[in-house]
């Protein structure tokens, strides 16, 4: 590829290329937006009908696949690909909704770490 192309190309050609790219991929962007909108609507419907959000459902499904129905928060975090604070909120929500036991394990003095959901 000619990396000097952009250095030698007048600005109006770059703008034309950018506009052409946007027009070219508009159908794809619209389709992606429609998919995201459908997912959001379905997520809201499930939450309204069943009182559980999709990440909580995914977490419960993950635990159901485990032999002992237990998993470290780190495992859940990696499975859901979310940050630790978000996973803590999801686990606490599951505990509130389904009255599950949420076990806190002290790892360091004065710090409670949520480690297993059972």
In a domain, 4, yes or no: no
Residues 39 and 14 in one domain: yes
Q: Do 61 and 109 fall within a single domain?
A: yes
Residue range of the domain that includes 78: 52-118
Find, among 81, 83, 75, 72, the residue nearest to 114 by Cα: 72
Residue 24 lies in a domain: yes
**Range with the poorest average pLDDT among 13-17, 94-98, 101-105:** 101-105
Residue 26: inside a domain: yes
Task: Read off the pTM.
Answer: 0.61
Residue 69 belongs to a domain with what CATH number? 1.10.10.10
Calculate ∠ Cα 99-101-106, nearest 5°: 145
pLDDT tens, residue by residue, 45-92: 999 998 889 999 999 899 889 888 888 889 999 999 999 999 999 988
Q: Residue 89 has what DSSP assignment?
A: H
Provide the number of structural domains found in the chain.
Answer: 2
Residues 59 and 80 in one domain: yes
> What's the pLDDT score for residue 99?
67
In a domain, 44, yes or no: yes
- pLDDT confidence of residue 7: 54
Say what the pLDDT of residue 47 is: 92
Q: Is the same domain home to 58 and 14? A: no
């Amino acid at each position: 590829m000619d990396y000097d192309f952009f250095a030698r190309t007048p600005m109006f050609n770059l703008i034309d290329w950018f506009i052409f790219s946007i027009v070219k991929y508009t159908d794809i962007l619209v389709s992606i937006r429609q998919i995201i909108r459908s997912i959001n609507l379905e997520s809201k419907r499930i939450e309204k009908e069943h009182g559980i959000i999709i990440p909580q459902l995914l977490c419960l499904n993950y635990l159901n696949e485990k032999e002992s129905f237990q998993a470290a928060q780190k495992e859940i975090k990696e499975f859901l690909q979310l940050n630790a604070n978000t996973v803590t909120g999801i686990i606490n929500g599951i505990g509130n909704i389904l009255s599950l036991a949420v076990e806190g394990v002290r790892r360091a003095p004065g710090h409670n770490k949520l480690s297993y959901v059972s």
